[in-house]
Amino acid sequence: MIHYHPDTDRLMAFAAGTQPLSQAICVSAHLEHCAQCRQLLRRLNHVGSEMISSLPPARVPEQLKAKVMQKIRSGEAAVEQPISTTGSAPGHSPIVPRCLRKLVPGDIDKLRWKRLSPSIRSARLCSDVDGTQVELIRIKPGGKVARHNHTGEEVTLVLKGAFSDESGIYRAGDIIFRDQRDRLHRPIASQDSECICLTAVASPIQLTGWLGRIFNPLIRRSHYAH
């Protein structure tokens, strides 16, 4: 049972396509788990489609239709095969969201995992143009993530296992948004199994001054570490 969903504003941004990619990836992964949000997404799509339909039609240049007809006749347009949306392709870890299969083509164990602390490892998947990092995080049973503040927005989606913090317990499919208003946040993985999460972290912890300039790269790398 999923208890933590993206709010309607975020789902609307997803429907309209106005979200940063890093956040859209996490929302997409949540939707894959959540029939309730998929239904709301379809309704939000109706708004977009009716808004387009009610636009004043723009004049279309004469040659545009001829160009398109030529494209489809020349075979430049290739009829597409359906994208498989059920099950997982052979070799895929079933916990990897569909939207990330290009970035995680095989087993997640084959990713380049970086050890952040005795109980936490992370693997970078991609970064958005605004610098937001999208990563997979694995926390050993009972593992603690360093207490940290947020300087930007942090999105976390649980893929496997569970973790908890001061505000609740989060299980597979749950999505959590945290920002600078949420102070001192200290997640702990549940005792009974490893916890795997997908995260998008907007901006790393910032230090200022000469010390900060020296240590920033280190701290940047170990955002989740002890």
Q: Where along the sequence are the contacts to another protein (CB under 8 A)?
A: 7-9, 12-13, 15-21, 24-25, 28, 31-32, 38-61, 64-65, 67-69, 71-73, 76-80, 82-83, 85-86, 98-103, 125-129, 134
**Of 6, 1, 38, nearest in space to 23 by CA:** 6
Which partner in another protein, Zn ion, none is near 193 (CB below 5 to 8 A by kind)? none
User: How near is the Cβ of 184 to another protein at its closest, in Å?
Assistant: 25
User: How near is the Cβ of 219 to another protein at its closest, in Å?
Assistant: 22
Q: In whole angstroms, how far apart are CA 147 and each of 84, 158, 173, 186?
A: 40, 19, 23, 5
Which partner in Zn ion, another protein, none is near 198 (CB below 5 to 8 A by kind)? none
Question: What residues have CB less than 8 Å from 109, skipping those under 6 apart?
Answer: none
Residue 57 to residue 78: CA distance in whole angstroms? 28
User: How near is the Cβ of 157 to Zn ion at its closest, in Å?
Assistant: 11
84 and 98 Cβ atoms separated by less than 8 Å? no
226 and 146 Cβ atoms separated by less than 8 Å? yes
121 touching Zn ion, by CB under 5 A = no
User: How near is the Cβ of 5 to another protein at its closest, in Å?
Assistant: 8
Residue 212: half-sphere exposure toward Cβ, Cα within 13 Å: 6
Q: How buried is residue 185: exposed, middle or buried, by Cβ count under 10 Å (0-12/13-18/19+)?
A: middle
Tell me how many residues contact Zn ion (CB under 5 A): 3
Q: Which of residues 17-36 bind Zn ion (CB under 5 A)?
A: 34
User: How near is the Cβ of 33 to Zn ion at its closest, in Å?
Assistant: 7
Is the CB of 110 or the CB of 147 nearer to another protein?
Answer: 110
Which chain residues interact with Zn ion by CB under 5 A?
A: 5, 34, 37
